[in-house]
Amino acid sequence: MKPILILLSLLMGGQAITSLAAYSSPKRDTAHSGRKSTAAAKHRIVFQVSVDGQEQWQGVLANVENLQKEFGPRNTQIEVVCFGKGVDMLLNTDAPLAERIAKDHAAGVTFAACQNTLRARKLSSADLLPSASTVPSGIAEIVRRQEAGWAYIKGG
């Protein structure tokens, strides 16, 4: 009986050492240590823009661009959902902002305006920038993305 107990103790001790070695392995994600992760994981991020103001919109675009710099455009899927006062960010009335949005769109970022907001404000998709699309409900789009595991960022 004693030899069986000794054998079981050795086996269990070996498993603990193996588990500890796997945990401290250099293959762990190092994203928080300041080093870039080598994994080709797709980072999916949805931004909410529901406020008015150039400063807030420029901040959102800076965050979008910083994420693409950090993870690489091929490793990110980003959607900026605008509703309420945030829809103004996507109106075709601001040339400098339009150029920046077009550049980000060309890099793979999706910009979506809420159709509920457009209807309430008597606007149509023709009033939006060419790089903007629409979704039936901005807030519902954000909920769907979060339910699908996307990271959520409130802009502004």
Per-residue model confidence as pLDDT tens digits over 79-135: 999 999 999 999 998 778 999 999 999 999 999 999 999 999 999 999 999 999 999
Q: What is the CATH number of the domain that holds 45?
A: 3.40.1260.10
Q: Is 108 left (phi over 0), alpha (psi -120 to 50) or beta?
A: left
Range of the domain at 134: 41-155
Q: Is 19 within a domain? A: no
Q: Is 5 within a domain? A: no
Is the entire prediction scored with pTM above 0.85? no
Q: Is 53 within a domain? A: yes
Q: Is 138 within a domain? A: yes
DSSP letter string, 24-47: T-TTS--GGGTSPP-S-PPEEEEE
* Residue 9 CA from chain centroid, whole number: 47
Q: Is 96 within a domain? A: yes
Query: What does the alpha-carbon distance between residue 73 and residue 101 come to, in Å, rounded to a whole number?
Result: 15
Q: Would you call 17 helix, strand, or coil by DSSP?
A: helix
Query: What does the alpha-carbon distance between residue 100 and residue 77 come to, in Å, rounded to a whole number?
Result: 18
Per-residue model confidence as pLDDT tens digits over 42-70: 999 999 999 999 999 999 999 999 999 99
Point out which residues pair with 44 in neighbouring strands: 77
Domain count, the chain: 1
